[in-house]
Amino acid sequence: MLRFLLHYGIHIIVPIAVGLIFFKNKRIWIILILLSGILIDIDHLIANPIFDSNRCSINFHPLHSYWAIAAYLVLFAYNKTRIIGLALLIHILADVVDCYFLLLEAN
């Protein structure tokens, strides 16, 4: 249950909190962009099975690969793409936490 709450809490609550706390101007627009980071889960559609609760997404799905994460860091480094990069990195953080819980459960 904790794994579920943390995973989806990071996907939903963290973007809303970041938007409310750090972006007073255009906060609704920023929150929507940050929440849209979940769209990179589209790459789950090419996996078989599409959803596996015991699979770590990091470096399994193309948009969750180390190369993609490096690109998200580059997006975050530039002012014009910082919010998009942040959205994608928040998503990756949620998936890293999920992978960590998988490791804990395996031991």
**What pTM did the predictor assign?**
0.94
Tokens of 70: 């490096």
What digits encode the pLDDT tens for the residues 43-76? Answer: 999 999 998 989 999 999 999 999 999 999 999 9
Residue type, 13: I
Taking alpha carbons only, the member of 95, 3, 97, 86 closest to residue 57 is: 95
What digits encode the pLDDT tens for the residues 8-46? Answer: 999 999 999 999 999 988 999 999 999 999 999 999 999
pLDDT at position 68 is 98
Task: Give the whole-angstrom CA distance, residue 57 versus residue 51.
Answer: 10
pLDDT at position 106 is 81
